[in-house]
Amino acid sequence: MELVYRPVVGLALGLMKAMKYKVTATGYKHVPETGPAVIATNHVGYLDFIFVGAAVRPRGRLVRFLAKREVFEHPVAGPLMRGMKHISVDRFGQASTAVAAAVAALERGEVVGMFPESTISRSFVPREGKSGAARMAMLAGAPLVPGAVWGSQRILTKDRPKNLERDIAISVDIGAPIEYDRDEDPVDVTKRLMFTISELVDRAQGDYPQAPRSDADRWWLPAHLGGTAPTVAEADAMAARDAQRRAEERQRRLRGEETI
C-alpha cells in the first residue's frame, strides 16, 4: 500500500503535463523490474528526483530517495517524505546511519535513489562523487545504476528564481549497471560510477533539443559549452563556502544561539 507516494506521483505527472514539459527517458530497462537497485545520477536541479522517478515508472518501481534531514523537518514536506518512505540524511551526523537505512531498504527489495555529489552542481558539470552509493549497493549486493538528468536546472536550481516557462525539455538517461566485486574498494567503484555519469551527461548535453534564446538565457549552460554558469573551480569554491556556513550555523544552534 502506497497511500502517500502514488497520489504524489499522480500530482507530479499532472503538473508536468500542465506545464507541457518534454520529458524523455532512455535506458530505463537497466532498472530491474523486481529486487533491489541503487540509482545514482548527477544533480543539477531541485526537481531531479521527480524526473528520475518518472523515468523509471515503466518498470513499475517507486524510488526511495536519500534527502537531507532538513527536508524531513519541514512542516509540509516532512510528512510527505516520511509517507513516501524516503531516507533522511544528516549531513552533520554519521554517514553510516543513512547507509544502514538505505541498505535495509535495499534488502527489502526497494529501489534507492541518490545523488553522489551530495549537492547541486552550480557549474552543471558532475562534481566528485562520495562513496555512499557504491557502499550501499555493495553491502546489499544490488545493481549500481548510473544516470544523467539534464534540463531540470532550467526550472528550479540554486541561486536562480523558479521558472514557470512551459515546454522545457528534460532528459533522463539511464546507463548499464556498474560492475564491481563485493570486496572491492568503494572509492574505486565510485570513480567508475562518476566517470560513467559524466559520459551520460555529456551525451545528454549534446543531444539536448533546445538552445538558449538569448545571451541572458545562457546561464543554464556550463562554461565549457559557452554558457555563463560558474566554472567548476568557481562552483567548488561556492560549495565550500556553503558547507562552512552550514557548519557554523549548526554549531550556533547546538549552543542555543540565534542565527541571523
pLDDT digits (tens, 9 = 90+) for 244-259: 988 888 788 778 754 4
Grid cell in block for residue 4: 502517500
Helix (H, G, I), strand (E, B), or coil: what is residue 144?
strand
Residue 237 placed within a domain: no
Q: How far apart are CA 119 and CA 128, in angstroms?
A: 11
Q: How far apart are CA 166 and CA 155, in angstroms?
A: 9
Grid cell in block for residue 206: 549534446
Residue 136 has a pLDDT of: 97
User: Which residue has 566517470 as its cell numbers?
Assistant: 195
User: Which residue has 535495509 as its cell numbers?
Assistant: 104
User: Which residue has 516532512 as its cell numbers?
Assistant: 78
Indicate the burial class of 157 (C-beta count within 10 angstroms; 0-12, 13-18, 19 or more): buried
Residue 256 has a pLDDT of: 73
Residue 254 placed within a domain: no
Q: Is 72 left (phi over 0), alpha (psi -120 to 50) or beta?
A: alpha
Residue 164 placed within a domain: yes
Whether the predicted pLDDT of 83 surpasses 60: yes
Residue 246 placed within a domain: no
Which residues span the domain enclosing 191? Answer: 5-215
Residue 229 placed within a domain: no
pLDDT digits (tens, 9 = 90+) for 97-141: 999 999 999 999 999 999 999 999 999 999 999 999 999 999 999
Query: Is residue 169 within a helix (H) or strand (E), and if so which, with residue range?
Result: strand 169-174
CB atoms within 10 A of CB 120: 23
Residue 125 placed within a domain: yes
Residue 257 has a pLDDT of: 58
Determine if the pTM surpasses 0.85: yes
Residue 222 placed within a domain: no
Q: How far apart are CA 44 and CA 229, in angstroms?
A: 11
Residue 259 placed within a domain: no
pLDDT digits (tens, 9 = 90+) for 23-81: 999 999 999 999 999 999 999 999 999 999 999 999 999 999 999 999 999 999 999 99
Task: Name the domain count of the chain.
Answer: 1
Question: CATH number for the domain including 189?
Answer: 3.40.1130.10
Band of pLDDT at residue 94, cut at 50, 70 and 90: confident
Contact 230, 122 (CB under 8 A): yes
Whether the predicted pLDDT of 183 surpasses 70: yes
For 42-166, where are the alpha helices, taking DSSP H only? 48-55, 69-72, 77-83, 95-107, 132-140
Residue 260 has a pLDDT of: 39
